Copies of this chain bind each other. A is one copy, B any other.
């Protein structure tokens, strides 16, 4: 089980020679999850909050209420780190020591930049579309009042300020006699059938955006 915990420290400039391909890997990991954890430092101590996010190009967008404390603690430009981690499978070895997990993880460090005006409006739509693609066309636009109640911020993805790690493999071939089964149990996230609220308009059909979620439920690929 050691692989997940030996995730490399977030050194600046680690493996710069692999940066271009690793950047694709970073984007793939960021785009595979809806939620990350945003860490900062408050009074010398770690402070962390789970957060929905959307990557758009070289920026990670987050949002929150202007009235609540969560995002305001990091709004002043203090250093942050956003961490995304997905567990893709249990790696079952011939010993517990050699057992591990397949996973994808990413850490992006930097400082959040507040977004205003058209940038803020676009960011909120990006976030909505990221979480439920197609939904913004099915409902009315956000109002000025709603936008003024929302804090939107961007974390720039800057070279040397992020790491990505992917483990996708069997365990090592045993170097000792063992008759124990060895393999991987894939883990994935699925959408269950939508549930209609009791106060939903009686004639309102399940919208296309929601129906499309089921298409994302694809069984894990079989390992060669």
Contacts and interface: CB of A to CB of B under 8 A. Distances in A.
Interface of A: 1-2, 4-10, 34-35, 37, 39-41, 44-52, 62-65, 67-71, 73, 79-81, 83, 85, 87, 90, 92, 94-97, 99, 101, 103, 105, 107, 109, 124-125, 127-128, 131-132, 135-136, 138-140, 142-143, 146, 150, 170-171, 173-174, 178-201, 203-207, 209-210, 213, 219-220, 222-223
A136 B185 contact: no
Nearest to A49: B7
B181 A205 contact: yes
Contacts of A79: 44-46
- Copies of this chain assembled into the complex: 2
A159 to B, nearest CB: 17
A190 B90 CA distance: 12
Given A4-B50, A97-B150, 8 more contacts: A2-B63, A8-B68, A9-B49, A35-B87, A99-B131, A140-B178, A184-B195, A185-B192
Given A35-B103, A139-B94, A142-B97, A83 B50 contact: yes
Main secondary structure on A side of the interface with B: mixed
A133 to B, nearest CB: 11
B189 A189 contact: yes
B183 A5 contact: no
A189 B191 contact: no
B192 A171 contact: no
Nearest to A79: B45
A205 B65 CA distance: 53
A196 B213 contact: no
A196 B180 contact: no
A95 B140 contact: yes
A220 B10 CA distance: 37
Contact of A39 (B9, B39, B143): B39
Sorted nearest first, the 8 A-B pairs with minimum C-beta distance are: A5-B64, A50-B85, A6-B68, A39-B46, A186-B192, A96-B128, A181-B204, A182-B200
A135 B204 contact: no
A38 B67 CA distance: 27
